[in-house]
Amino acid sequence: MPPRCTVAALAAIWLPGLAEAAGALSPNGPVAEAQLGILLTALGLMAIVVLPVWLLAAFVVLRYRSTAGQTYRPEEDFDLKTDLVIWAVPALIVIAIGTIVWTRTHQLDPYAQVAPGDSLRIQAVALDWKWLFIYPDLGIATVNELALPAGTNAEIALTSDTVINSLIVPGLAGQIMAMAGMRTELNVVAEAPALMWGRNTQYSGEGFADQEFRVPVTSLEDFAAWAETARRARPLDRAAYCLLATEEATSEPRRYSAPEDGLFKAIMMQYMDQDRGRLCSDD
Amino acid sequence: MTDTTTDAQGVRPHAGIPLEHPDAETAHATERAVFGFWIFLMSDLVVFALLLATYAVLLRGNTGAPGPAEVIELAYAFPETLLLLTSTLTLTFASVALREDRARGVYGWTFLSLALGAGFLALEGAEIAGLIGKGHIPQVNGFLSGYWLAIGTHGLHVAIGVVWGLILIAQFWIYGFCPAIRSRLVRFSLYWHMLDVVWIAIFTVIYLPGSLVS
Amino acid sequence: MLGRLSWDASPFYGVIPAIAASVVILAAIATIVLLTVTRRWRWLWSEWLTSLDHKKIGIMYVVLAEIMLARAFIEAALMRTQQALGAGAGDVGPVGAEHFAQLFSTHGTIMIFFVLMPFMTGLINFAMPLQIGARDMTFPWMNSIALMLTIGGAGLVMASLVIGKFSTGGWTGYPNFTGAAVNPGVGPDYWIWALTLGGAGSTLSGINIVATIWKERTTGLDHLMWMPLFCWTSLCTALLMIFAFPALTVATVMLWLDRTFGFHFFTQADGGNMMQYVNLFWMWGHPEVYILILPAFGVYSEVIGTFSSKKLFGYTSLVWATMAIAVLSFTVWLHHFFTMGASANVNAVFGIATMVIAVPTGVKVYDWLLTMRHGRLRFDVPMLYAVGFIVTFVVGGVTGVLMAIPPFDYVVHNSTFLVAHFHNMVIPGSLFGMMAGATFWFPKAFGFRLDETWGRRGFWFWISGFYLAFMPLYVLGLFGMSRRMATYLHPEWQPWLIAAWAGAGLVGCGLICQAIMLYVSIRDRERLRDITGDAWDGRTLEWLAPSPPPEWNFGVRPVVTGRDEFGERKLNDEAYPVPDRTAYRDIEIPANAATAPLIGIFAFLFAFAAIWWMWWLVWISAGAIVLLVLWRSMRFSLHRQIPAETLYQADMAHRRTILAHADGDIGSGAPMRHARGTEGYLARERREREDRA
């Protein structure tokens, strides 16, 4: 194959990946940006250990093949200075990365608010095989669609009304698990308007592969307008929820108005010790 | 002769092994068997540690049903403890008798230990019957599952111990004081003593807090 | 009578499952026919299945691993094919969603429990007793039982192809997905019992290995720091097996009680706690990673020392690094679920603890490279795997450290980045080590070496296939592709998955080359014959014995006076002294035991019955096992006596072979090409004989 064609073939493989769905590689928010930064910093630090390994491996393999007339010291088995170096260098690098771990884990604690100001509260409920997002302050709810206003801190509370799920929007932040009877939390900020996507990452059964949702990030005004349209949709009462939770498999976005008060808590409480009334009857 | 795949190298058995002046191969074989059994017991102890840890995690999982304070009764646990601890003492006497080659002592003390163990099982059976009578079965909630599995695994161990001990007595009777059987008695007593240690842990983690704290 | 077993359990719910089931049944029939036609049943039973010889048990473990590897690879290839074709929504591609889930569950379960575990247990069984100059494991009967339990577990996974379905819950089997409410079928129960049997076998093996290393070392090896490094890694692995496997057993038994008897350990709504399962599972699961990898580290240490014709550099550091890894492996389990939503403090502490393990691992890599420096490197197949491992494993190390940083783990957890990472650890880190070890010790086991040409081809296909299959997954993980997806809505991922599919194809070529290698080697065994017992200019005691070694290993157990005992002897021209008749004693070796395979069969039946709720069979099998143990306990002559004269004559014969070989009377002389000290010694020997003549 002529070189130009090879380059073209490689680009055909490489480019579609980068251009379309680069996920964590094209961050649209401070959390994902910081997470990408960690990747690059840690890679740089570890290069101090890894590059010498590769170079040394190439060197010894080429230099000490038994055909070459090389130095041969079969009795050489210990050298204090070398020993100290090979323990100390990895240890120092681990201390360096360990420091990053400590500070970054706290900075990027998913429970901590990312941007100052009022948070937009969102309650995410994992269902078979879709996500329900309740916006309690706006009186709306959506399925398979997590609309976010740009620049606003979104405080996403997570639980599950089915098996363990895990929510990620690769361009915004890493994932957190959603577990029945438990409440976890993920704070994100989307920087610029864009149409992004998120999904469940924890295998949850047959419909798992399609369990993706769209994440439209819009300006505050557009978001308000979007919420207004949602308020005109059908209400998410108990019957609508039960239908959604037990029967309907859909990967299409859908909007609801007026989610039942305290729905998120009620879903969680089904799996808690006390007061565990089933929301939906089994039949 | 027991397993001998190595040339024995004049190993002296540890002081706890009731063999007086054994030949080198017997000493070596016993030593190896006891060592291997020790490792097994360590592994078994990890099982109990994890059962108790899980119990502690599930302690509050009583889902509104009666909790530890209502379910757990010292009335059984106290005599159960007495029986089991005494059986450890009597089994030690059996080991002493074995070392001194007193056959009647070995039979008598081992049998007494097993009887005390059976008494423990009887009491535990009564306790469990009581639990079932009150509806405190493991299918009720996480707390009861954890409780049943912890004491049930221990009880099963004791029951296996009683059967094993009876078989050993029979083998003693049939085969006499040969080194292989002696070595088995040593391992059996290690097992029995370990069950005591585990019981003390169960008593401390399950019964004391369960009955004292609501 | 049959519990919940009915015609619904037949495998004809899909084309691929039906084919798979037919293949299993046909293979079973073919095996039976072949054994009958060649009249090999008795041979199989009395030479192999009932044997308590540690070498044969080790070989049987490796055979089991190879058979299961073939199945696990086919599953991997099916998954790669599905993903390569799976762009789109719904049912695109050849494999349906549910079947895809069975595939990734069995692939993981088989690779961990029935490929890598038996492979490494087999190598330890075969080589470690020889290396410490022992005649057998401490508990030969228990050794056989452990093997039979492992085979029983593997048999359950095979049975699930024909009767019923396997779990779809992944090799980790998290509830509540595997709970009775979500998955009431037999799948998770197959998984539970396959693991429980395999786990019981591993616990017994662990006890046996520790006892053997502790109690069977030959004279001189009370100096522990003279033990070959493979023995050290075996010891640490065995300790991990003993202390980690109880956690798995507790977790799976609790899950089974939940599923079968309605207990509530992990059912969240009834006071259970499913995250307790996750904790228990990884308390075992993380040490398990090192259980798989440490023995390979031991193999690499032996291989690199031998093929560099040099002492290991930094032996003491390597030993301490091994022990450090073993201890630390118990302290990091939480990093498998950083995304559970624990507090920043908890995650940070476990993240840092995880990284600490990178230090001793890094030390090992440097020590291996420094061993090669100033050596005389011979690139035979085992050495190729070792070098390939060093270069590749560090990539996995880097991505491992990355994933130990909690905020970055949030990004790639559950993604194909994770899939790429752990394959990057266990393929070069464990599987390559096992293949290196199998090639290294093959001549010791069978008396001839494996064909070099096909072995090299196999290696190059394997390693290039590995890179091509898994490097794209790293990239896709960063793009946000989750693991375990049969299909995907992002067509731009497809080129990467096609590349990964091609990588699987290369790995398949590697496996085919290895199969051809085996065929060619058996065909050309005379050309490849290892006459001296020292096929690679070895440095440790196993090379002192003939190939294959007699069932008693050593006529007189060797006395060790330093590290690399055999290498030193050859340097000092003392490798093959004239046997001294007075040093020989009558010995006893364990007689064959039919009880062990019978216990294995009943354990299989027990588990099968527990899966299908045939309670009568559960009780019968349990009773049978108890009776078999009792019966064994009442038999006291479990040994065969071998007279000293036999041992002496065998050693004399071996020595005569070596001398004849040195004179050029037999063999091509090729196997002696490496033997460093041997030439000098044999030349002197010849001179003396000529002088006498």
| Coil/strand/helix, residue B1 | coil
Residue B3 contacts C where some CB pair is shorter than 8 Å = yes
Nearest to C502 by CA among C72, C80, C49, C75: C80
Contact A186, A192 (CB under 8 A): no
Whether A84 and A143 map to the same domain: the answer is: no
Report the percent of chain A where pLDDT is more than 70.
89
Question: So what's the ipTM on this one?
Answer: 0.92
With contacts defined as CB-CB under 8 Å, which chain A residues touch B64? Answer: 273-275
Residue A20 lies in a domain: no
pLDDT bucket at A26, cuts 50 / 70 / 90:
confident
Contact A183, A268 (CB under 8 A): yes
Residue A7 lies in a domain: no
Q: How far apart are CA C322 and CA B39, in angstroms?
A: 20
With contacts defined as CB-CB under 8 Å, which chain B residues touch A276? Answer: 63
Q: Identify the pLDDT of residue C96.
A: 87
Average pLDDT, chain B: 87
Q: How far apart are CA A80 and CA A87, in angstroms?
A: 11
Residue A143: φ, ψ to 5° = -125, 135
pLDDT in tens, C379-421: 999 999 999 999 999 999 999 999 999 999 999 999 999 999 9
Q: How far apart are CA C484 and CA A163, in angstroms?
A: 15
CA angle A50, A55, A60 (to 5 degrees): 125
**pTM of the shown model:** 0.94
Nearest to A166 by CA among A146, A187, A184, A149: A184
- H/E stretch holding A125: strand A120-127
Whether A149 and A94 map to the same domain: the answer is: no
Q: How far apart are CA A167 and CA A165, in angstroms?
A: 7
pLDDT bucket at B170, cuts 50 / 70 / 90:
very high
Enumerate long-range contacts of A73-78, CB under 8 Å, 24 or more apart: A73/C310, A73/C374, A74/C309, A74/C310, A74/C311, A74/C375, A74/C376, A75/C311, A76/C310, A76/C311, A76/C313, A76/C374, A77/C310, A77/C311, A77/C312, A77/C313, A77/C314, A77/C315, A78/C313, A78/C314, A78/C315, A78/C316
pLDDT in tens, C338-349: 999 999 999 999
Residue A191 lies in a domain: yes
Mean pLDDT of A64-77: 81
Q: Which tokens is A186 given?
A: 């993920």
Nearest chain C residue to B139 by CA distance is C263
With contacts defined as CB-CB under 8 Å, which chain A residues touch C409? Answer: 174
Q: Identify the pLDDT of residue A209.
A: 92
Residue A2 lies in a domain: no
Residue B119 contacts C where some CB pair is shorter than 8 Å = no
CATH of the domain at A267: 2.60.40.420
Whether A271 and A159 map to the same domain: the answer is: yes
Whether A59 and A99 map to the same domain: the answer is: yes
Task: Name the C residues in 168-187 with CB < 8 Å from any A CB.
Answer: 168-170, 174, 176-177, 182
| Of the partner residues A273, A275, A276, the one whose CB lies closest to the CB of residue B62 | A273
Contact B88, B196 (CB under 8 A): yes
Question: What DSSP string describes C85-153?
Answer: H-BSSSS-SSS-HHHHHHHHHHHHHIIIIIIIHHHHHHHHHHHHHHHTT-SS-S-HHHHHHHHHHHHHH
- H/E stretch holding C83: helix C54-85
Mean pLDDT of C425-447: 97
Interface test with A, best of C479, C494, C673 (most A CBs within 10 A): C479
DSSP state of C584: -
Contact C639, C141 (CB under 8 A): no
Nearest to C551 by CA among C637, C646, C645, C439: C646
Average pLDDT, chain A: 88
Q: Cβ contact (<8 Å) for B63 and A276?
A: yes
Nearest chain C residue to A37 by CA distance is C408
Within its chain, how far is the Cα of A12 from the centroid?
27
Note the maximum CA span of chain C: 91
pLDDT bucket at C669, cuts 50 / 70 / 90:
very low
Residue A104 contacts C where some CB pair is shorter than 8 Å = yes
Residue C585 contacts B where some CB pair is shorter than 8 Å = yes
Q: Identify the pLDDT of residue A23.
A: 81
Task: Name the C residues in 136-165 with CB < 8 Å from any B CB.
Answer: 136, 138-142
Total length of chain A: 283
Q: Identify the pLDDT of residue C679.
A: 53
Residue A160 lies in a domain: yes
Total length of chain C: 693
C361 pLDDT higher than 80 = yes
pLDDT bucket at C137, cuts 50 / 70 / 90:
very high
Mean pLDDT of C672-689: 52
Q: Identify the pLDDT of residue C195.
A: 96
Domain C-terminal end among A52, A83, A106 = A106
Q: How many CB pairs under 8 A join A and B?
A: 9
Q: How far apart are CA C155 and CA C1, in angstroms?
A: 22
Domain range enclosing A218: 119-276
Q: Identify the pLDDT of residue C558.
A: 94
Residue C351 contacts A where some CB pair is shorter than 8 Å = yes
Residue C362 contacts A where some CB pair is shorter than 8 Å = yes
B57 pLDDT higher than 60 = yes
B169 pLDDT higher than 50 = yes
Q: Identify the pLDDT of residue C493.
A: 93
pLDDT bucket at C284, cuts 50 / 70 / 90:
very high
**More confident of the two residues C455 and B181:** C455
Mean pLDDT of B94-104: 89
Domain C-terminal end among A52, A85, A106 = A106
Nearest to B3 by CA among C549, C137, C634, C148: C137
Domain C-terminal end among A51, A83, A106 = A106
Q: How far apart are CA C419 and CA C422, in angstroms?
A: 6
Q: Identify the pLDDT of residue C674.
A: 42
Nearest chain A residue to C412 by CA distance is A174
| Least confident interval from A216-220, B66-70, B158-162, C263-267 | B66-70
Q: How far apart are CA B198 and CA C5, in angstroms?
A: 39
| Of the partner residues C177, C390, C407, the one whose CB lies closest to the CB of residue A164 | C177
Q: Which tokens is C18 given?
A: 């039906």
Q: How far apart are CA B50 and CA B149, in angstroms?
A: 11
Interface test with C, best of A59, A101, A108 (most C CBs within 10 A): A101
Q: Cβ contact (<8 Å) for B61 and A274?
A: no
Residue A141 lies in a domain: yes
**More confident of the two residues C271 and C621:** C621
Whether A254 and A146 map to the same domain: the answer is: yes
Cα distance from B185 to chain C (closest Cα, Å)? 13
Contact C586, C643 (CB under 8 A): yes
C158 pLDDT higher than 80 = yes
A19 pLDDT higher than 50 = no
| Least confident interval from B4-13, C465-474, C552-561 | B4-13
Residue B66 contacts C where some CB pair is shorter than 8 Å = no
Contact C628, C637 (CB under 8 A): no
* Structural domains counted in chain A: 2
Contact C465, C506 (CB under 8 A): yes
| Least confident interval from A7-21, C38-52, C55-69, C141-155 | A7-21
The residues facing C537 across adjacent strands are none
Whether A92 and A205 map to the same domain: the answer is: no
Whether A173 and A229 map to the same domain: the answer is: yes
Q: How far apart are CA C1 and CA C617, in angstroms?
A: 9
Mean pLDDT of C444-464: 96
**Integer Rg of chain C from CA:** 26
C686 pLDDT higher than 70 = no
Whether A212 and A261 map to the same domain: the answer is: yes
pLDDT in tens, C578-607: 888 999 999 999 999 999 999 999 999 999
Whether A92 and A155 map to the same domain: the answer is: no
DSSP state of C31: H
Nearest to C610 by CA among C183, C96, C148, C259: C259
Tokens 């069977």 sit on residue: C216
Mean pLDDT of C549-577: 90
Q: Cβ contact (<8 Å) for A104 and C405?
A: yes
Interface test with B, best of A182, A269, A272, A273 (most B CBs within 10 A): A273
Non-local (6+) Cβ contacts of C322 within 8 A are C229, C232, C233, C236, C294, C297, C298, C360, C364
A20 pLDDT higher than 60 = no
Mean pLDDT of C442-451: 96
What's the one-letter identity of residue C88?
G
Task: State how far the alpha carbon of C310 is from the alpha carbons of C75, C157, C575, in Å.
Answer: 41, 44, 17
Mean pLDDT of C6-35: 88
Q: Cβ contact (<8 Å) for C398 and A43?
A: yes
Q: How far apart are CA C374 and CA C253, in angstroms?
A: 53
Residue A35 lies in a domain: yes
Residue B149 contacts C where some CB pair is shorter than 8 Å = yes
Nearest chain C residue to B138 by CA distance is C263
pLDDT in tens, A220-240: 999 999 999 999 999 999 999
Whether A252 and A202 map to the same domain: the answer is: yes
Q: Which chains touch A (3 or more CB pairs under 8 A)?
A: B, C
Q: How far apart are CA C608 and CA C615, in angstroms?
A: 10
pLDDT bucket at A214, cuts 50 / 70 / 90:
very high
Sheet (strand A120-127) strand order: A184-189, A153-160, A120-127, A130-135, A140-143, A254-257
Whether A68 and A143 map to the same domain: the answer is: no
Average pLDDT, chain C: 92
Cα distance from B202 to chain C (closest Cα, Å)? 17
Q: Identify the pLDDT of residue C687.
A: 62
Q: How many CB pairs under 8 A join A and C?
A: 297
Whether A142 and A268 map to the same domain: the answer is: yes
Residue A260 lies in a domain: yes
Given 3-state DSSP classes, what are the helix, strand and coil percentages for chain A, each rounded to the nearest 5? 40, 25, 35
Residue B23: how many CB atoms within 10 A of its CB? 13
Q: How far apart are CA B16 and CA C646, in angstroms?
A: 38
Whether the upstream peptide bond of residue C548 has omega within 30° of 0, thus cis, is: yes
B8 pLDDT higher than 50 = no
Q: Identify the pLDDT of residue A16.
A: 47
CATH of the domain at A88: 1.10.287
Q: Cβ contact (<8 Å) for B36 and C211?
A: yes
